[in-house]
Structure 1
Amino acid sequence: MERVILPSTLGTLTVGLLLPIVVLCTFTYLTTLLRYHLAVRNASNGKGNSKNPPLLPYFIPVLGSTIAFSNQTVGTFWTWLRTQAERYHQDAFSIVLAGKRTHFIFSEDGISSLFKSRQLSRAGLDRQLGVNVLGMSKEDSFKAFPDRADEKTSTERLHSEYLLSSTGVHALTEKFIETLLAQLGSDEGLASGVEGNLYEWLWQRVFRASTTALAGSKLLEMYPDFDVDYRVWEDNMLDMLFGTPRLFARQAYRARDACVEKLERWLETGYQHTEEEEGEDPDWTPSFGARVMRKRHDLYKQRDLSIHGQAGWDLIFLAGILSNATPATGWLLLHILSPTSASDFRPRIMQELQSCKRTDGSIDIPALTRLPLVNSAFHEVLRLYVDLLLVRRVESSGAIGPHYVRQSEQVMAPTWMTHRNPAFFDRPDIFDPERFLTSDPETGKLRYRATGLGSKYFPFGGGHYMCPGRMFAKQEVLGTIAVLLLNFDITFAGFVKRTKTGWESVGTEDFPTIKNGFAGNQVVGIEGDMRVHIKRRPPRSL
């Protein structure tokens, strides 16, 4: 006889299942809430283990504050954390993040100590990135990101010589500018003028110029659609890093696998050409691009990486160069062209840019990097739009500044908390292009100053893991701005936003906002765009 479960029985079963969960979550919250207030009180009174950052209360065991931290409205978690910091007079907190105690440090002393500490490491996170985001085997991830790299073969030494040196970065920037100008010059529509969405138009052109300068022309010749898969992968990097299963992120993993497969074939083709060109070491080659890329490939062989692992490591290197400079260029250009900016902002920028234009129409890059307002505005973009999260694993228990941490715990330093701290910066949520301007006490001339701020401002990270591409990124952003504004008339037509049916006009006041994403996205994405008319200036005006 078939058994019938009555509605009343179902209700009883549901209550029977839910009640223990509710009791457990309530008990967890009350217990952690009590511990939190005791820790805050002891810290305020200088009693107990006051150097241990207070652990924020949570409801769900093991998961802890993972759900709140994963809020994809950028800045929401940091704004809430800042409120707690002001309310309880704290400069560090701890949360349980996916079962691991994680410390958020936003005190000046704490961040400064984090930069210098030898008891903190990023190797574990890098290996997690290698496996989850780049598709490496565990064996390759340990070879690519060892705990202690050999001094002679370390990526830090290699980048210092070929990416951070003035000679290396100058060659890279010149190739980037040359490639960007060639692209723009071949677009016949720009002679009579085209209308379109500025950032969408800009993204593809900067991507192709950067990729060509760094990796050579062969990659995009082999795979003209490489940017399509790359952009999907880039938008979902943090999903994969946090371990989102393939079932729930199929498009992201397909894009990752496609990018790595294309890079594998490009590497195999390139290695055949480099054998033919053995003995030559020019600044740039069509097969592998800049010298820094070729030297990295030598390092891959020294570490005995598989071709699949090499492709993954190339992918993240490309991302480190491409993923932040492009949106930074977009934000800066949007502010320069926006009718919501001060009326004299664009004319003053143009006056500075004109001063670094040579008689042959080319751009004096060293002079460009010294322009006061241009550089102040660039650093203001980084202050306002960088959501960088420095993550380190504690290798041995001890103090990080005034904060005590234990082995195997995590430490995070968020730029959002410091860059938008009203104690450090006046009106921190407002874009102020003059924020980093100072006056020379002797000459009275304007200059910009972004150094000497210590742990109040660190858009490129700090310490042993500072971004190796920071010098090229700056020249890439400023070079793009100069190329566009000196060679083209760009007229504002209105702001637009993306809807289910396409782009929709939103008038002249709705400046683009920050695109949703996980915390730690570095330069945040742009939600919305600016409709513009772009026309090449006649040669006589150059």
Structure 2
Amino acid sequence: MDRATVLPVLGTLTVELVVPLGLICALTYCTTLYRYHLDVRNTPGRQGESPTARAPPLIPYAIPGLGSTLTFSNQTVGKFWTWLRVQAEHYRQDAFSIMLAGKRTHFIFSEDGLSAVFKSRQLSHAELDRQLAVNVLEMSKGDSFRAFPDRTDEKEKITTERLHSDHLLSSAAVNSLTGKFMETFQAELDGDASLAGGLDINLYDWLWQRVFRASTSALCGTTLLEMYPDFDVDYRILEDNLLGLLFGTPRLFARQAYRARDACVEKLEKWLQVGYQHPVKEGEDPAWTPDFGARIMRRRHDLYQQRQLGIHGQAGWDLILSNATPAAGWLLLHILSPTSAPDFRPRVMQELHSCKCSDGSVDIPALTRLPLLNSAFHEVLRLYVDLLVVRQVDNSVALGTHYVRKGEQIMAPTWMTHRNAAFFDRPEVFDPERFLTTDPETGKLGYSATGLGAKYFPFGGGHYMCPGRVFAKQEVLGTIAVLLLNFDITFTNFVKHSKGGWTAAGTNDFPPIRPGFAGNQVVGIEGDMRVHVKRHRR
């Protein structure tokens, strides 16, 4: 068949395919649009719904199966939520649904609805944990079910709940872990001789590696980074692409992310094999060892053995490390920024000096009580956390006025509540004093993030609240304390990325949020702050 014959045939086939697909998409959109307008006008809900609770309106879409996946995947952080907020105000709704990769997914952002989500026993997250295990942590499906079962075996000697209660929520255990982090972070900085004479740096880019290395050494011991000094390079690539992996982006379109993930797991697997050759002596239980770090890591490894995870699955689970650097970065940038109130930094420094001990160390319990610093930390979480609390619906249930069915999915977005003008005054503005309180009897200044209910949940809520929240907070505050109490840091200018690398920006060009998928926890920093840093004389 010659070219003159082939072209008309191909054209005919194209028309025959495109026209039916176009008609299907148009019909799907018209049908879902019609249903949407019926739902937002409070017409009767689906069969089987409670008379007082209805399914949230389903956002119209055109592509069957895919639904609103492409719209939701927009990487301009906050764009989808801003659009959804406009819809909510226009139609007076406090929840919506979308079809997300074939599954009906409900976004609930009313205070009553969120409270019901956090309290409900008909919701779980084991299925999402297993998706994380397979897609991000590179576990086999078998190991994912052993690591994250639907129900915990009551006969288990070690459970994740007990592990977290004893080692991540216990004040003594967390203070010990934070103390080790601050000691390691200080040693990391002391080892840099260039800081004595002063150094010009891009602050956040410089900070990330040092905090990550200190945090990893405090948790995992020093052997891991001695074996693999470049572990932080792979981990940062993985962290920046975590949601893409979670959503199942094909390897073809995320080769760098998959290479970094695979390298991290391989290195952790070899580290585990070395560590198991040097067990702690029977009868001893030190708070920290060079091979496996903090006691919680050794207990975690005992749990792996109990659940019969393979060494590859164990290495994958150990990819869940603490790295609170983005939150520390945002807080530090605001403290040092010329765009902040002139008295903000001096007041923070006054607080920090009050918790400095005579030997130069920092009183950790006192650090966690500093009013302005802690208020500013919670304001960072309010403004820069884009968290999605995701739950699987195990049984059809009414969540306040929202009816959801078995097999569907719930997402509770912090962005919709933390930036709601009905909940917070001037929600787009960073206000370090937002969470300050004054004792009416003594006039003493304090801070509080309690009593806000479902208006504020940067660490999730209910039965599955983030167990590492206490350490994450202390890690951020400890980072700030070590840096500001030991170094003179002078602002030079803001910088931004360009094709040729970094270029200077104006003194009022505070870095914006870096593009990323919705639900990327603490959002990234697009740009940096150029500073001169010099160690204090001792």
Instruction: Give the TM bin, normalised by the shorter chain.
Output: over 0.9
* Corresponding residue of 2:233: 228
* Corresponding residue of 1:326: 325
How much does 1:12 deviate? 4.6
Q: Distance in 2 between matches of 1:213 and 1:415?
A: 30
1:37 aligns with 2:42: no
* Corresponding residue of 1:345: 344
The CA deviation string for residues 368-424 of structure 1, in whole angstroms up to 9 with x for no partner, is 111110000000000000000011110111112221100000000000000000000
| Equivalent of 1:122 in 113, 122, 125 | 125
TM-score, normalisation: structure 2: 0.97
The CA deviation string for residues 112-132 of structure 1, in whole angstroms up to 9 with x for no partner, is 111111111101111111111
* Corresponding residue of 1:279: 283
The CA deviation string for residues 147-184 of structure 1, in whole angstroms up to 9 with x for no partner, is 01124432111111111101110110110010011111
| Equivalent of 1:88 in 88, 91, 95 | 91
* Corresponding residue of 1:506: 505
* Corresponding residue of 2:138: 135
Letter in 1 for 2:277: Q
| Equivalent of 2:294 in 268, 290, 293 | 290
Q: Distance in 2 between matches of 1:486 and 1:394?
A: 48
1:307 aligns with 2:306: no
How much does 1:363 deviate? 0.8
How much does 1:246 deviate? 1.2
SS across alignment from 2:5: coil
* Corresponding residue of 2:158: 153
Q: Distance in 2 between matches of 1:9 and 1:133?
A: 45
**CA gap 1:120/1:135 in 2 versus in 1, 3 angstroms:** same
**CA gap 1:47/1:112 in 2 versus in 1, 3 angstroms:** closer
* Corresponding residue of 2:108: 105
The CA deviation string for residues 403-450 of structure 1, in whole angstroms up to 9 with x for no partner, is 110000000000000000000000001100000011110011211110
Cα pair 1:283 1:291 within 8 Å, conserved: yes
1:216 aligns with 2:215: no
| Equivalent of 1:246 in 251, 273, 279 | 251
SS across alignment from 1:383: helix
Cα pair 1:169 1:472 within 8 Å, conserved: yes
Cα pair 1:388 1:520 within 8 Å, conserved: yes
1:21 aligns with 2:21: yes
Q: Distance in 2 between matches of 1:159 and 1:469?
A: 8
Cα pair 2:124 2:393 within 8 Å, conserved: yes
The CA deviation string for residues 195-237 of structure 1, in whole angstroms up to 9 with x for no partner, is 0100011001100100000000110011000001111111111
1:195 aligns with 2:206: no
Cα pair 2:264 2:319 within 8 Å, conserved: yes
TM-score, normalisation: structure 1: 0.96
How much does 1:17 deviate? 2.5
Cα pair 1:332 1:378 within 8 Å, conserved: yes
Unaligned runs of 5+ in 2: none
1:62 aligns with 2:65: yes
Q: Distance in 1 between matches of 2:179 and 2:2?
A: 80
Range that drifts further, 391-400 or 151-160: 151-160
Unaligned runs of 5+ in 1: none
Q: CA RMSD in A?
A: 1.6
* Corresponding residue of 1:365: 364
How much does 1:13 deviate? 4.2
Cα pair 2:53 2:398 within 8 Å, conserved: no
Q: Give the aligned length.
A: 533
Q: Distance in 2 between matches of 1:2 and 1:388?
A: 58
**CA gap 1:43/1:278 in 2 versus in 1, 3 angstroms:** farther
Cα pair 1:132 1:243 within 8 Å, conserved: yes
Range that drifts further, 404-413 or 500-509: 500-509
SS across alignment from 1:164: coil
SS across alignment from 2:169: coil
The CA deviation string for residues 343-366 of structure 1, in whole angstroms up to 9 with x for no partner, is 111111111111111122211111
